Amino acid sequence: MNSKRAIIILGKNVGNHKLKVFNFMIDYYKWEFFVILWGNHIVESSVLVKYFDFDKILNLQYKLFPFFNNRDLVRSYLEKSNPKLLIFVGDFDNMELKDIPENKIPKILIGNITNSNLIFSKVIKDSLISKITNNQVDYVPKPRINYQDFLDFDTNQSLKIKQDNNLVLYENGIISKQKVIAFATYSDNPLLLKNLITNEGHKYVNINNIKDSEIIIPEIDEDNAPIVFEVIDMLVINQNIDEGLIQKMLWCIASGTILVLPRTEEFINFIGNGALYYRENSTSELKACLQVLDNNIKKIKEIRDNAMIILQKKFSYKSIANSWESILSKFTY
């Protein structure tokens, strides 16, 4: 009998990225998962089949009522699969959980729940930092990068952006690309950054306001990030860290784009030696960071290598699967 056998119960707002994490746990940590799915919170069967054996999915077609109002069916499924854990994934409310049969199986919540008396052995919430404790709530990083997107992106689309903006140069039989430096700033008038970039002979992109850019690129989203960031050589940050900025920073790292960050504790703790740093309000230090792009190929490679190691260690699906594994394994035997 597999001691790492669990039932995954899918609620609202599951997100395909969480299913990918479970897939890593199957591959690397040999978990055996059964999945309960019902009509109210339907997840496409084609998506589930990518990560789970379809024979292990209970797909109940209830359109008006949560399937948990059928206690006998739930009890039968629990007895049949004999899980060591019940893992609730997504968002739930009390009406959906009130009829779960009483049992001694540990219950884990990866998501959120409102107005419920159900007692969970652990609650795992999305966070930027992995923090495994003995408290009721554990935090693990939210998956933010699908590496395959950055390996299989459409190079023709990136080339078209470069050609449309006259970034591809042909000189003396040698093909090169004019460098592009993006920036994110809280300033309403980022003239200083624009001047620093253009004085170095590069094109600029205002990452917070794409229309205020020297080249034409599409608005950046999850689908086209690999294409756009392949065009951008460096991203300069001149603002406080937030959720949206963090996503862009991780897209940068996955694309090999160099980050230039304020030398503050929050940025250093986040990226470590995977970026270039400048003292806030120091134009000379910021200018020196920009010049690394042209003058220090060895430093650029070092930063890229360090950043990728940090990305894989802290923010990859495998690293998050490792965090979940360390938590869930405590409840199996």
* CATH of residue 175: 3.40.50.2000
Q: Give the per-residue pLDDT at 243.
A: 79
Same domain, 189 and 245: yes
DSSP secondary-structure letter at 12? B
Number of domains in the chain: 2
Q: What is the pTM of this model?
A: 0.75
Same domain, 24 and 122: yes
As given in the structure block, the two tokens for residue 105 are 């199986």
* CATH of residue 90: 3.40.50
What CA–CA distance (Å, rounded) separates 93 from 97?
Answer: 7
Same domain, 261 and 322: no
**Nearest of 4, 2, 45 to residue 22 by alpha carbon:** 4
Amino acid sitting at position 115: N
Q: Give the per-residue pLDDT at 160.
A: 92
Q: What is the mean pLDDT of residues 50-55?
A: 78
Same domain, 138 and 197: no
SS3 category, 266: helix
As given in the structure block, the two tokens for residue 132 are 């495994």
How many C-beta neighbours within 10 Å does residue 171 have?
7
pLDDT-derived band at 290 (thresholds 50, 70, 90) equals very high
pLDDT 10s digits, 241-269: 887 888 899 999 999 999 999 999 989 98
